[in-house]
Amino acid sequence: MTEMLSTFEPATGALLTELPVGDANRDVAAARDAWDAWAATPLAERTAMLRRFAEIVRERAEPFADLIARETGKPLWEARTEVDTVIAKVAISITAQAERAGERASDQPGGGQMALRHRPHGVVAVLGPYNFPAHLPNGHIVPALLAGNAVVFKPSEKTPATGAFLVECYHAAGVPEGVVRLLIGGPDQGRALAGHDDIDGLLFTGSARTGIALNRQFAERPEKILALEMGGNNPLIVWDEPDLDTAAALIVQSAYTTAGQRCTAGRRLIVEDRLYEPLIATLTRLTDRIIVGAPHDEPAPFMGPVIDNDAADQLLARVADLVAAGASAIRPLERRSPNLPFLTPAILDVTNVADRPDDELFGPVLQVSRARDFGDALRQANATRYGLSASLISPSRERYDAFWAGIRAGIVNWNRPTNGAASSAPFGGIGFSGNHRPSAYYAADYCAYPVASAEVAEAAATIAVGVRPES
């Protein structure tokens, strides 16, 4: 009997779909069989297929967005923006491929040329997350296909239907079925794929815990490329008398978009002590107006549920631990229904928590602390193993220059949210946030390897030193 994987709508608890669990050996073998022909396909043809993929996604945009919204629980307006990023990724990746992995040639002294070309790795595995189940794996798959790789894609077991829809769009565009394989399953299938001897690399987006385990697993396999995009415990500093309403809007966008389920979400708000009272008053007024609801509700919600009941239970337990350790609940984390994972946006003052856990609370929880001076604020912001995103809200350019110079993060923003990074820029962090393989515009770098060639049309060589004269 075929094993099935079921997925449920977070907002209703209803069964969404059941899909047959796949076999990593079968899918890797199929990708390996298809890879040579795909790598030999001219780049212009691969590019044309991916442009067609973008058009197919555009044609299917509304049912695609509906599926994403139902499977993740995110509002329909946000699911539509995710579909837009899937479409836009193709043109951005084509430009990045030409700029970062295109062919180059230069003349050499004495004749001939030095040529730079790039080759695909072969068969690469892509492990996708549930928070952006189309956009984030697509950000690996499109540049991998452009480079000439075959792909075995395992979506999160919490969002397999979105993964299946995405892969069907590739196939409908003419990408051979062997070149993009869909592996449905849970942790067992993920481990089988990641540990498979016949993959040439793994492109991962997900939690730091899983990413660190993969890093250990690949430590003795230097021949395989490993790109890790993990989480963040991202700081947001407010300083120098900014407009408080604007600051509050930026904080809410950072902390609560996607119900806080973004790796770039603002987790920690660090406030100049003299601004604390007026800022918190403004922030709570706005937070209290946030609509939490189901994807298709009217009026449209700002926030949907978290992904499932287990995630909600874990967040509630972690917040209870913080309160027990001395945190004050300015706005508590509350569950609207015992059977569904809808949570209210929480604000906790952790100023008096002596040993603040350096954890990514993947949900709508904002931890606030006071800072006595800007040096103290920077020290608090950098008190993390992560280093993905950080933002400063301040009217002072001088302050931003000091912030940029002192903060440890791969994405550093000024008067912008911590999240919402552009696909036309590199995306990645340091520490527990990644392994120096930034994605987005720089994904082309890890999807192919450079080959340098010294080339002359006719061989000519002599050895002038260290050789005895002919007798």
Decide the pairing of beta strands 123-127 and 201-205. parallel
Contacts of 63 (CB under 8 A, 6+ apart): none
Q: Indicate the helix (H) or strand (E) that contains 76.
A: helix 76-101
The answer to whether the Cα torsion of 24, 27, 33, 37 is positive or negative is negative
Catalytic residue of the set 229, 272, 360, 447: 229
β-sheet with 234-238: strand ranges across: 328-331, 346-349, 365-371, 266-272, 234-238, 389-393, 411-414
* E runs forming strands in 44-149: 104-107, 113-120, 123-127
- DSSP per residue over 143-186, as a string? HHHHHT-EEEEE--TTSHHHHHHHHHHHHHTT--TTTEEE---S
Inter-residue contact 163 to 137 (CB < 8 Å): yes
Answer yes or no: 241 catalytic: no
Catalytic residue of the set 157, 263, 272, 447: 263
Between vectors from CA 177 to CA 63 and to CA 62, what angle results, nearest 5°?
Answer: 10
Backbone angles phi, psi at 354, to 5 degrees: -65, -50
Token pair, residue 15, equals 């069964």
Can you tell me the distance from the alpha carbon of 180 to that of 379, in angstroms, rounded to the nearest whole number? 45
Inter-residue contact 299 to 291 (CB < 8 Å): yes
How many Cα neighbours within 13 Å face the side chain of 243? Answer: 5
228: left (phi over 0), alpha (psi -120 to 50) or beta: beta
Token pair, residue 33, equals 């069989």
* Closest listed residue to residue 306, CA positions, set 351, 347, 273, 337: 337
Answer yes or no: 229 catalytic: yes
Strand partners, 451: 117
Catalytic residue list: 229, 263
